Amino acid sequence: MSMTATLSLKKLEEHFGIQDQLSNRGYYSIFDILKLSKSEFTRQYQGLFGAKASKIYDTASGYATQIMLLFRKNNLAQAVQTSVYSTQLQDNDSVVPTKGGPTWQTLFADDWREYCQNSAPEANDSPVSYLSWLYNQATNFESQMGVDNIIPLAVRRPDLAELMLDNDAINQVVPSLQLVNKVLEQSVTPYVNNIAPNTSVSETLAATRYSTLLPYHYPHQQTLLSLKASDESLQNTIKKTDTAWPYFVKQNLRAGKAETAWQLGSDLAPEQQSILIEKFADSTTELTNFYYQSLGLNSSNFEPFVNSDVLCQQLGITKEEMENLIASTCNESKVSISDNYQPAYQTSGSDLYGASYINNYLNDPVLLQDSSVVKDEGTNPTPMYISSQGVSFVAGKFGSALKIDATKNAEVYFKSNIATDGSQLIPFTLSFWCNIPANINSNSLVVTNKTDHYVSTAKGITVKASPGENGNCSLELSASDGENNPLAVSRVFPADTWIFVCIEYSLDANLYLITNVNGSGSTYYDTIQIDSPESIALEEEYWG
């Protein structure tokens, strides 16, 4: 080591085990290090000292502070003693050395135990000091608010009061998810011990069914997560370790661990598998337990869940997800048949396919009430004109229906501007059921908003029916401005079958023909783009 290096620099090198490495690089005192800023020193010696570079600088800064204090103390004490000694020389011919004069320590009584290094955990400007202040502020605010109006910090974060704030706690990197899981487990543990003594939180979560995010089987999920990284599955893992594999070459497909492999192939945890295969609850007690454990309500029947809002809330799903679950809307079934399936008009009710598990093989799906929909029970009816000839009541899709025979000059219409404000089209929906006979004439009127005009070319909206081949018929929706050829779309359906028809105009300037056969199967959406809504709007409408 260089002979000119100061004692403080030697101690610094010994403290960090870097003997001679600073003095050999031209540093002869602590103050030579402080000529550089901390960032400059750290950047320059990061490669040599690694993570210790910033700590070396902080320690050097601490040494320098102590040296400055000692220097000031010695200078002051020496100056005071010299002044006292000079005064005595002037007052007395005999020179007597002064003892017991004032010193730095006697004047200021420094307690070196109250000092610490810069950025140490116990420093006033350290993260520990700031966190302690925040914690004390939070507890003070809680005491001012009163315990009845808040959820105290001790309940929300019971770990904070026992958290040891030291150098390791400050510098250790811990994933947020790990901290959250730890805090949640501490909060849940008292409840778990109350309902299921001698049971861990993980065991309780694995057997709990409500809410629908549960059950959560921690070992099972960890296994799936580990296998996901290797593109492997539980099922394949069992197969590869079973001497009876491949199972399909055996007469008995259940040889070896085949059933275990099939079960694990579902990726379902044990409790999830139990939910799928458990027996139907038939007694009041069993039903009450089922609804409470699975849906979170204390009920012995399905009545509370008829309200769609309640069902969606308890299942944690949206209205759209609920309709997919029961394969039905409030008006029709959502079960559909592939276009590749023949015959094309095979029944596809909600009692078939996957929805049968939910709807209990009933053609009419489970009934739900939507509190957001207000039904008009006829409080403000629109008068309808029905001619005295050619109109009769027959059995319909739902109760009675009107049979209208145009060959006998039958008329049915009502006056209502549902599609116009007098100058342009406005959003509207008009829906109805119709049954088109096979012997219908071409271009027979089904419905129009211009019953007082010639339907083919006059301005307005019209739906017409025509016979087709192989026992089918076609429906055509047209929109006309009264000058150019009408815009039209059509769809072929089986004759003598109930067809749901909906005419809708929306804000996207599209006129839709929405149709469905017998309330099942596919729902078809045919569109007419209306570039000039005002061109087909009527001042007054007569629908019929």
Q: How confident is the model at residue 332 (pLDDT cuts 50, 70, 90)?
A: low
- pTM score over 0.85: no
What is the residue-wise DSSP string for 345-373? Answer: T----TTSGGGHHHHTT-SS----B-TTP
Q: How confident is the model at residue 103 (pLDDT cuts 50, 70, 90)?
A: low
Closest of 489, 485, 517 to residue 501, by C-alpha: 517
Q: Which two tokens stand for residue 323?
A: 């309709």
How far is the C-alpha of 429 from the C-alpha of 511, rounded, in Å? 10
The domain made up of 384-543 is a member of CATH 3.20.20.140: no
Q: Do residues 491 and 473 make contact, with C-beta atoms less than 8 angstroms apart?
A: no
- Give the H or E element holding residue 273: helix 270-277
- Across the chain, mean pLDDT equals 76
How many CB atoms neighbour CB 409 within 10 A? 9
Q: Which two tokens stand for residue 167?
A: 């150098």
Q: How confident is the model at residue 345 (pLDDT cuts 50, 70, 90)?
A: very low
What pLDDT does 344 receive? 45
DSSP 8-state symbol, 95? -
Token look-up 């849940």 returns 188
Closest of 5, 26, 8 to residue 67, by C-alpha: 8
Q: Do residues 478 and 438 make contact, with C-beta atoms less than 8 angstroms apart?
A: no
Q: Do residues 257 and 238 make contact, with C-beta atoms less than 8 angstroms apart?
A: yes
How far is the C-alpha of 270 from the C-alpha of 219, rounded, in Å? 11
Residue 359: pLDDT over 60: no
Residue 418: pLDDT over 80: yes
Q: Do residues 281 and 294 make contact, with C-beta atoms less than 8 angstroms apart?
A: no
What proportion of the chain, given as a percentage, has pLDDT over 90?
A: 0
State the helix-helix crossing angle for 38-49 and 52-91, rounded to 10 degrees.
130
Based on the number of CB atoms within 10 Å of its own CB, is 541 exposed (0-12), middle (13-18) or buried (19 or more)?
Answer: buried
Q: Do residues 473 and 493 make contact, with C-beta atoms less than 8 angstroms apart?
A: yes
Mean pLDDT, residues 275-293: 80
How many CB atoms neighbour CB 249 within 10 A? 9
Tell me: the pLDDT tens digits for 452-506?
Answer: 566 667 788 888 888 888 888 998 988 888 888 888 888 888 988 888 888 888 7
3-state SS class at 543: strand
Residue 51: pLDDT over 60: yes
Domain ranges within the chain, ordered by starting residue: 7-114, 128-173, 384-543
Mean pLDDT, residues 334-349: 54
Locate the DSSP E strands across 308-427. Answer: 384-386, 391-395, 400-404, 412-415
What are the contacts of 151-157 at 24+ separation with CB within 8 A?
155/187, 156/187, 157/183
